[in-house]
């Protein structure tokens, strides 16, 4: 290397060479992008301009057995923010006072639902029309907001229906892992309770997809050529076995008490006619986004409005259980219809303990059916002793206790059937006494049943021992008009012979019609009625009142079970409650019989 | 002055005209779906500007190059005055004051200053008797370039300021400075890059020493070069802290386009998507979704080449790149045959401006050069730029026409 100058022609060659190298590098770069990375870049280009929008289908409507709407959909506005178009410090700040959410909450919702910065992220469902009018009028104050037509689930049935309808809510981030990602997204509406949850996939229908071509700003140009829109398929409508008249009455009669539950079933097919749990909650307030304050107020309520007492309330069955004790006694030939025990003088001495009868005057000497009539504890104590804990336990299980009934509602409790194995594990071997059999024989102690299980058992008693699986949905109608009927199915048979069943039914008749019956007040001239009172001992307060009734007794069409918490004796409180419901049912039947056909033309609002 | 029009370099003019017309078409495509009627008319405005530019070019061809030779320092001075004025009264656009608003026309003084430096340096090198690698010659010519470049940097506009140094380098090279010296002169920038890590910097400095020993450029020059290398490496963090936010983000974006895909890197990513999705044949005229749906930013100006890549594919890009290549080939040929040194330097300098913007702009759209905001010569929308490039073409054609003059 020296200081020798390049000749002009050297400079020319060098300059030309440099240009050639530059152009070569450019061409290599172009070939790399346009040939080798062409497919990747094309895909990126497509995804740039393609916006996939879900089309939410109409959720299935629920009708009662007479075609009255229970749950439908109401048009509404959903307010969204397009994050890329939002002006920080302006949009949210101006929006907050109009829609009544604070800025922090809006931000929180936005973060939850945002998919991309260019897609509208819903921040509030069901914004009142007046608010939308304000937003429209002062649109300049709210850059980046948009609103879409949407539907809000509307629960139109009388209060108490939420016990079976349940409600829908937005899928939260802790639930997202438990559902099919093909069907649900964060923020999708999903059934949270009741039928809405049980039949969610049928009710929700099939989501459609719109393929849109968009500008970089997110503004929609139009449909995306080459990708036709996939239409949404509406959810199936359902016809429920519930009779809203009975349902409404069931809630009304509980209104004067603290808490309770009523369930009415047609024993001939297992159709649920009414199902209410009191107090309930406002399903409309719960559908969509549940505010923090609503949630705390409901969960902190000592009456537990969210607890569905029919399915999850666990109570000792009290005297309603005595039908099992007597049934088991007859089946096991421990007694026959003329057997008697030591007479009742208001109690029974067992070892060192004196077990009282509920009537301290005593009942004297009774046969089995009359022991049911008078609900005599002393008779049952002695029968229980003769049968033993495990025989009683076995019969309980065979009568459907200790396991879910299989009703088409989610989250049903199993209850508890105590037996030797249970007591051994609970107290230790030989650390408990046979006296527990006495308690079990009158339905107290550790036995726990749900009102639904009890109603199911009485359905068996009413229906010649054949128990149909309790269910609410009778038929589903697909959007194409196709109707799918859900046929009643036999769940199990009671472990009682015809003669035993006849004896038990006679006992139920005597409870209402006998001279010493505990539910004599239900006796009437119009129709025959049978049933059994019960009082569940409650160590935490006043006893719970039970009554399970059925009518017409010759061939029962309705079995109605009621529990009224902390209300005292079944005969005084629960029996009249059930009596009213059965009365309405029978009046409807005898007066104007208007039971709807399956798939009857629905009434549109 | 009457010319023998058949002796003009029509091949060169044809190449430049073809590029300009392609530009008009691409601008039309880039703005065709715009919601603003004003933007949709950009191609009409560009056509009008092309007419103006061709007129300016014709005028320059008719002016004897000798006249420009005599007035060279005057033109240079006018450029400096305008640059100073724009700092005082210029209207700010996009955070930088670069323009004079003259009613419907805005005048960019930096374009005038580029011509000024071009002819000023050409005259300096044409008449100086100082040896090609003498310190005085290098220093004086550098001062001529640094003054306008410093004024541009004050606006601030790094990309345009670089053009001034490019003219200086091109003329250093064409006036006979050994390319090794050019390497040495650029070395402080390499030092700046190497200084990002102490180990790479140490290796670099050792290599530089070895290079100096072999080149033997003289004691003073060698020491100055080495000190500059040391200094540049050490002031890296200092410079970094003094840079404007957009300059810093441009450098970060260049080094890592995915760093902030919705921010500064967005342009590069979208440009690469546009070009890459064009494939071999392109999506067709007016059918580029990247461009039509606004994903491509600044598509009628800085990223016009991306529109070309998307709609006309590799074949369209090759056509334009090779057309440029042919243009440079003609220019270098003209520079080589000019008998007047002034003419040669004017041609070489003018070519270097076109070449530099060509490299920087296309490199940017391909993601191999940082975003500088320099338009693509002849194709990008912009009236004053078009007039500038056709002025350069006029100077080159004029030099070619008079190649036999001394």
- Averaged over A467-482, what is the pLDDT? 94
Cβ distance of B355 and A19 shorter than 8 Å: yes
Cα(A175)–Cα(A152) distance, integer angstroms:
21
CB B184 within 8 A of CB B345: no
pLDDT in tens, A186-224: 777 889 899 999 999 999 998 888 888 877 766 677 888
- Averaged over A1-14, what is the pLDDT? 75
DSSP 8-state secondary structure symbol assigned to residue A61: P
Sort out which chain A residues have CB atoms less than 8 A from B279's CB and list them. Answer: 34-35, 38, 42
Least confident span in A1-10, A277-286, A532-541: A1-10
Tell me the percentage of chain B whose pLDDT exceeds 90: 46
| A116, closest residue in chain B (CA to CA) | B262
Asked whether the CA dihedral A358, A362, A365, A366 is positive or negative, the reply is negative
Cα(B327)–Cα(A54) distance, integer angstroms:
54
State the pairing for strand pair A50-55/B91-93.
Answer: unpaired
pLDDT in tens, B256-265: 665 555 555 7
User: Which of A48, A85, A86, A224 to mutate to probe the B interface, most B CBs <10 Å?
Assistant: A48
Cα(B211)–Cα(B190) distance, integer angstroms:
14
* Whether pLDDT at B343 is above 90: yes
**Which of B176, B276, B336 is nearest residue A12 as measured by Cβ atoms?**
B336
Cβ distance of A22 and B335 shorter than 8 Å: no
Tokens encoding A458: 């009485």
Sort out which chain B residues have CB atoms less than 8 A from A35's CB and list them. Answer: 279-280, 314
- Averaged over B270-297, what is the pLDDT? 87
Q: How far is CA A305 from CA A172, A257, A277, A308, in A?
A: 22, 14, 8, 8
User: pLDDT at position A602, please?
Assistant: 43
Residue with the bigger pLDDT between B258 and A462: it is A462
Residue B236, number of CB atoms within 10 A of its CB: 16
CB B152 within 8 A of CB B199: no
pLDDT in tens, A332-358: 999 999 999 999 999 999 888 899 999
Cβ distance of B277 and A44 shorter than 8 Å: yes
Q: How far is CA A286 from CA A56, A191, A298, A363, in A?
A: 20, 11, 10, 52
Of A155, A171, A152, the C-alpha closest to A163 is: A155
Ranges assigned E (strand) in A185-259: 189-191, 208-214, 220-223, 237-240
Cβ distance of B332 and A16 shorter than 8 Å: yes
Given its phi and psi angles, is residue B101 left (phi above 0), alpha (psi -120 to 50 degrees) or beta?
Answer: beta
Asked whether the CA dihedral A500, A503, A507, A508 is positive or negative, the reply is positive
Q: What angle do CA A438, A440, A441 make, to 5 degrees?
A: 65
3-class secondary structure, A563: strand
- Averaged over A554-570, what is the pLDDT? 91
What's the number of CA atoms in the CB half-sphere (13 Å) around residue A206? 6
Cβ distance of A5 and B176 shorter than 8 Å: yes
Tokens encoding B222: 């060698």
Q: What are phi and psi of A233, to 5 degrees?
A: -110, 125
User: pLDDT at position B169, please?
Assistant: 92
Closest CA of chain B from A101, distance in Å: 29
Please give the interface size between A and B, counted as residue pairs whose CB atoms are below 8 Å apart: 127
Cβ distance of A215 and B176 shorter than 8 Å: no
Listed by number, the residues of chain B in 352-391 with a beta carbon closer than 8 Å to a beta carbon of chain A are: 355, 359, 362-363, 366, 368
CB A255 within 8 A of CB A278: yes
Cβ distance of A48 and B133 shorter than 8 Å: no
Least confident span in A17-31, A112-126, A588-602, B241-255: A588-602
Cβ distance of B332 and A19 shorter than 8 Å: yes
State the pairing for strand pair A347-350/A353-356.
Answer: antiparallel
User: Distance between alpha carbon B230 and the CA centroid of its chain, in Å?
Assistant: 29
User: pLDDT at position B263, please?
Assistant: 57
3-state secondary structure chain B: CCCCHHHCCHHHHHHHHHHHHHHHHHHHHHHCCCCCHHHHCHHHHHHHHHHHHHHHHHHHHHCCHHHHHHHHHHHHHHHHHHHHHHHHHCEEECCEEEEEEECCEEECHHHHHHHHHHHHHHHHHHHCCCCCCCHHHHHHHHHHHHHHHHHHHCCCCHHHHHHHHHHHHHHHHHCCCCHHHHHHHHHHHHHHHHCCCHHHHHHHHHHHHHHHHHHCCCHHHHHHHHHHHHHHHHCHHHHHHHCCHHHHHHHHHHHCHHHCCCCCHHHHHHHHHHHHHHCCCCCCCCCCHHHHCCCCCCCCCCCHHHHHHHHHHHHHHHHHHHHHHHHHHHHHHHHHHCCCHHHHHHHHHHHHHHHHHHHHHHHHHCCCCCCCCCCCCCCCCCHHHHHHHHHHHHHHHHHHHCCCCC
pLDDT in tens, A220-261: 778 887 788 888 899 999 999 999 999 999 999 998 898 999
Of A177, A206, A207, A175, the C-alpha closest to A191 is: A175
User: pLDDT at position A4, please?
Assistant: 60
Cβ distance of B335 and A12 shorter than 8 Å: yes
Cβ distance of B295 and A35 shorter than 8 Å: no
Listed by number, the residues of chain B in 77-116 with a beta carbon closer than 8 Å to a beta carbon of chain A are: none
Cα(B78)–Cα(B74) distance, integer angstroms:
6
Q: What is the maximum span of chain B, computed from C-alpha positions, in angstroms?
A: 65
Q: Which of A25-29, A425-429, B241-245 has the highest mean pLDDT?
A: A25-29
User: pLDDT at position B94, please?
Assistant: 44
Helix (H) or strand (E) holding A544: strand A544-551
User: pLDDT at position A586, please?
Assistant: 92
User: Distance between alpha carbon A88 and the CA centroid of its chain, in Å?
Assistant: 42
CA torsion, ordered B162, B166, B167, B172, to nearest 10 deg: 140
Asked whether the CA dihedral B26, B32, B34, B37 is positive or negative, the reply is positive
Sort out which chain B residues have CB atoms less than 8 A from A30's CB and list them. Answer: 275, 309, 314, 317-318, 321, 366
User: Which of B276, B339, B347, B348 to mutate to probe the A interface, most A CBs <10 Å?
Assistant: B276
- Averaged over B40-60, what is the pLDDT? 94
Closest CA of chain B from A195, distance in Å: 45
CB B229 within 8 A of CB B191: yes
Cα(B146)–Cα(B98) distance, integer angstroms:
18
Tokens encoding A580: 């009213």
What's the number of CA atoms in the CB half-sphere (13 Å) around residue B85? 15
* Whether pLDDT at A110 is above 90: no
DSSP 8-state secondary structure symbol assigned to residue A81: E
| A4, closest residue in chain B (CA to CA) | B178
Task: Please enumerate, as own/partner, the contacts of A217-221 that have beta carbons within 8 Å and a separation of 24 or more.
Answer: A217/A84, A217/A85, A217/A118, A217/B294, A218/A51, A218/A82, A218/A84, A218/A85, A218/A118, A218/A119, A220/A51, A221/B293
CA torsion, ordered A347, A350, A351, A354, to nearest 10 deg: -30
Residue A285, number of CB atoms within 10 A of its CB: 13
User: pLDDT at position A593, please?
Assistant: 45
**Which of A4, A33, A213 is nearest residue B275 as measured by Cβ atoms?**
A33
Closest CA of chain B from A186, distance in Å: 24
User: pLDDT at position A604, please?
Assistant: 42
Mean of all residue pLDDT scores within chain B: 86
Tokens encoding B105: 């026309």
Q: Chain A residues with CB-CB distance to B under 8 A?
A: 1, 3-6, 8-9, 11-12, 14-16, 19-20, 22-23, 25-27, 29-31, 33-35, 37-38, 40-42, 44-46, 48-49, 117, 213-217, 221
Q: What are phi and psi of B264, to 5 degrees?
A: -70, -35
* Whether pLDDT at A464 is above 60: yes
Least confident span in A71-85, A548-562, B100-114: B100-114
In this complex, is the C-beta atom of B290 within 8 Å of any C-beta atom belonging to chain A? yes
In this complex, is the C-beta atom of B257 within 8 Å of any C-beta atom belonging to chain A? no
Mean of all residue pLDDT scores within chain A: 88
CB B119 within 8 A of CB B68: yes
User: pLDDT at position B275, please?
Assistant: 94
Closest CA of chain A from B94, distance in Å: 20
User: Which of B132, B213, B277, B364 to mutate to probe the A interface, most A CBs <10 Å?
Assistant: B277
User: Which of A1, A3, A47, A49 to mutate to probe the B interface, most B CBs <10 Å?
Assistant: A3
pLDDT in tens, B290-307: 888 878 878 888 899 999
Cα(A126)–Cα(A74) distance, integer angstroms:
9
- Averaged over A76-84, what is the pLDDT? 84
Cβ distance of B179 and A14 shorter than 8 Å: yes
Cβ distance of B333 and A20 shorter than 8 Å: no
Of B307, B373, B310, the C-alpha closest to B30 is: B307
Cβ distance of B294 and A216 shorter than 8 Å: yes
- Averaged over B33-60, what is the pLDDT? 91
Cα(A178)–Cα(A176) distance, integer angstroms:
5
Least confident span in A182-196, A544-558, B87-101: B87-101
Q: Is the peptide bond before A552 cis (omega within 30 degrees of 0)?
A: yes
User: pLDDT at position A597, please?
Assistant: 37
- Averaged over B192-198, what is the pLDDT? 76
Sort out which chain A residues have CB atoms less than 8 A from B133's CB and list them. Answer: 3
User: pLDDT at position B261, please?
Assistant: 53
- Averaged over B136-161, what is the pLDDT? 86
Cβ distance of A26 and B362 shorter than 8 Å: yes
pLDDT in tens, B98-129: 556 555 555 678 888 999 999 999 999 999 88
Cβ distance of A23 and B324 shorter than 8 Å: yes
* Whether pLDDT at A522 is above 50: yes
User: Which of A30, A32, A35, A116 to mutate to probe the B interface, most B CBs <10 Å?
Assistant: A30
Cα(A446)–Cα(A355) distance, integer angstroms:
17
Cα(B310)–Cα(B286) distance, integer angstroms:
10
Closest CA of chain A from B75, distance in Å: 27
- Averaged over A515-543, what is the pLDDT? 89
CB A496 within 8 A of CB A331: yes
* Whether pLDDT at A594 is above 90: no
Cβ distance of A37 and B274 shorter than 8 Å: no
User: pLDDT at position A605, please?
Assistant: 38
User: pLDDT at position A328, please?
Assistant: 95
Residue whose token pair is 């959903």: A78
What's the number of CA atoms in the CB half-sphere (13 Å) around residue A502? 5
Cβ distance of B309 and A19 shorter than 8 Å: no
Given its phi and psi angles, is residue A422 left (phi above 0), alpha (psi -120 to 50 degrees) or beta?
Answer: alpha
Cβ distance of B325 and A38 shorter than 8 Å: no
Q: What are phi and psi of B178, to 5 degrees?
A: -60, 135
Residue whose token pair is 């929609």: A220
Of B51, B61, B56, B50, the C-alpha closest to B5 is: B61
């Amino acid at each position: 290397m020296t200081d020798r100058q390049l000749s002009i022609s050297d400079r020319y060659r060098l300059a030309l060479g440099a240009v050639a190298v530059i152009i070569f590098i450019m061409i290599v770069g172009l070939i790399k992008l346009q040939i080798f990375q062409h497919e990747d870049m094309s895909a990126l280009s497509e995804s740039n301009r393609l916006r996939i929008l879900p089309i939410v289908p109409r959720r299935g409507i629920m009708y009662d057995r007479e075609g009255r709407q229970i749950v439908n959909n109401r048009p509404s506005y959903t307010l969204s923010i397009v994050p890329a178009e939002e002006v920080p410090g302006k949009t949210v700040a101006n929006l907050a006072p109009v829609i009544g959410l604070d800025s922090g909450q809006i931000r929180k919702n936005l973060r939850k639902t945002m998919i991309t910065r260019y897609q509208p992220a819903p921040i509030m469902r069901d914004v009142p029309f007046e608010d939308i009018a304000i937003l429209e009028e002062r649109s300049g104050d709210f850059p980046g907001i948009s609103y879409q037509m949407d539907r809000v689930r509307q629960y139109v049935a009388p209060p108490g229906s939420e016990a079976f309808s349940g409600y829908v809510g937005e899928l939260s981030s802790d639930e997202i892992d438990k559902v099919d990602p093909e069907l649900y997204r964060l923020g999708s509406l999903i059934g949270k309770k009741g039928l809405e949850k049980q039949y969610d996939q049928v009710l929700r229908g099939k989501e459609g997809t719109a393929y849109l071509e968009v500008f970089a700003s997110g503004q929609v140009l139009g449909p995306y050529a080459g990708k036709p829109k996939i239409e949404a398929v509406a959810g199936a409508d359902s016809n429920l076995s519930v009779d809203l008249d009975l349902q409404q009455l069931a809630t009304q009669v509980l209104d004067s008490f603290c808490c309770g539950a009523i369930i009415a079933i047609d024993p001939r097919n297992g159709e649920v006619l009414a199902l209410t749990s009191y107090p309930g909650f406002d399903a409309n307030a719960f559908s969509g986004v549940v505010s923090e304050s609503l949630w705390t107020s409901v969960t902190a309520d000592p009456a537990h409005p969210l607890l569905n007492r029919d399915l999850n309330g666990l109570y000792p069955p009290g005297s309603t259980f005595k039908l099992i004790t007597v049934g088991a006694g007859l089946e096991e030939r421990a007694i026959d219809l003329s057997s008697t025990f030591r007479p009742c003088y208001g109690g029974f001495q067992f070892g060192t303990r004196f077990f009282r009868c509920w009537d301290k005057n005593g009942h004297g000497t009774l046969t089995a059916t009359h022991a049911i009539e008078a609900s005599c504890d002393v008779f049952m104590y002695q029968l229980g002793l003769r049968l033993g804990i495990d025989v009683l336990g076995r019969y309980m299980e065979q009568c459907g206790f200790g396991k879910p009934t299989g009703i088409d509602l989610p989250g049903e409790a199993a209850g508890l059937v105590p037996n030797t194995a249970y007591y051994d594990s609970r107290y230790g071997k030989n650390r408990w006494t046979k006296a527990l059999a006495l308690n079990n024989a009158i339905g107290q102690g550790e036995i726990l049943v749900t009102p639904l299980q009890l109603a199911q058992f009485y359905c068996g008693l009413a229906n010649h021992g054949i128990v149909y699986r309790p269910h609410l949905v009778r038929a589903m109608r697909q959007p194409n008009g196709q109707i799918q009927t859900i046929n009643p199915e036999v769940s199990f048979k009671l472990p009682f012979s015809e003669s035993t069943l006849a004896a038990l039914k006679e006992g139920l008749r005597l409870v209402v019609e006998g001279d010493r019956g505990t539910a004599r007040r239900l006796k009437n001239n119009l129709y025959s009625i049978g049933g059994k009172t019960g009082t569940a001992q409650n160590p935490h307060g006043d006893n719970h009142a039970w009554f399970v009734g059925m009518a017409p007794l010759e061939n029962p069409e309705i079995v109605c079970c009621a529990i009224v918490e902390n209300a005292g004796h079944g005969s005084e409180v629960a029996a009249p409650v059930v009596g009213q419901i059965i009365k309405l049912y029978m009046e409807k039947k005898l007066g104007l019989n208007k039971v709807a056909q399956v798939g009857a033309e629905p009434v549109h609002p | 002055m009457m010319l023998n029009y058949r002796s003009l370099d029509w091949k060169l003019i044809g190449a430049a005209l073809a590029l300009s017309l392609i530009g008009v078409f691409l601008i039309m495509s880039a703005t065709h779906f715009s919601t603003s009627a004003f933007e949709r008319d950009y191609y009409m405005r560009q056509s009008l500007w092309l007419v103006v530019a061709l007129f300016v070019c014709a005028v320059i061809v008719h002016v004897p190059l000798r006249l420009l030779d005599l007035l060279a320092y005057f033109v240079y001075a006018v450029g400096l005055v305008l640059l100073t004025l724009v700092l005082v009264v210029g209207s700010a656009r996009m955070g930088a004051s670069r323009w004079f608003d003259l009613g419907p026309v805005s005048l960019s003084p930096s374009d005038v200053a580029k011509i000024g430096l071009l002819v000023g340096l050409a005259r300096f090198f044409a008449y100086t008797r100082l040896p090609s690698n003498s310190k005085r010659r290098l220093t004086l010519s550098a001062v001529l370039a640094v003054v306008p470049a410093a004024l541009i940097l004050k606006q601030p506009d790094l990309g345009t300021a670089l053009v001034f140094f490019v003219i200086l380098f091109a003329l250093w090279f064409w006036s006979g400075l050994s390319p090794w010296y050019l390497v040495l002169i650029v070395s402080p920038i390499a030092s700046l890059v190497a200084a990002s890590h102490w180990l790479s910097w140490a290796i670099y400095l050792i290599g530089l020493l070895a290079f100096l020993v072999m080149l033997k450029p003289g004691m003073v020059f060698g020491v100055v070069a080495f000190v500059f290398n040391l200094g540049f490496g050490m002031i890296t963090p200092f410079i970094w802290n003094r840079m404007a936010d957009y300059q810093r983000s441009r450098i970060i974006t260049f080094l890592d386009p995915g760093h902030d895909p919705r921010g500064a890197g967005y342009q590069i990513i979208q440009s690469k998507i546009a070009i890459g999705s064009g494939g071999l044949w392109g999506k067709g005229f007016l059918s580029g979704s990247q461009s039509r749906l606004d994903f491509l930013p600044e598509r009628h100006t800085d990223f016009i080449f991306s529109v070309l890549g998307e709609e006309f594919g590799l074949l369209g890009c090759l056509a334009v790149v090779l057309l440029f290549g042919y243009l440079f080939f003609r220019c270098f040929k003209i520079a080589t045959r000019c008998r007047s040194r002034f003419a040669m330097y004017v041609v070489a300098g003018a070519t270097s401006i076109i070449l530099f913007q060509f490299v920087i702009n296309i490199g940017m759209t391909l993601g191999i050069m940082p975003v500088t905001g320099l338009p693509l010569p002849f194709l990008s929308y912009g009236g004053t730029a078009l007039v500038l490039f056709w002025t350069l073409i006029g100077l080159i054609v004029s030099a070619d026409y008079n190649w036999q003059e001394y």
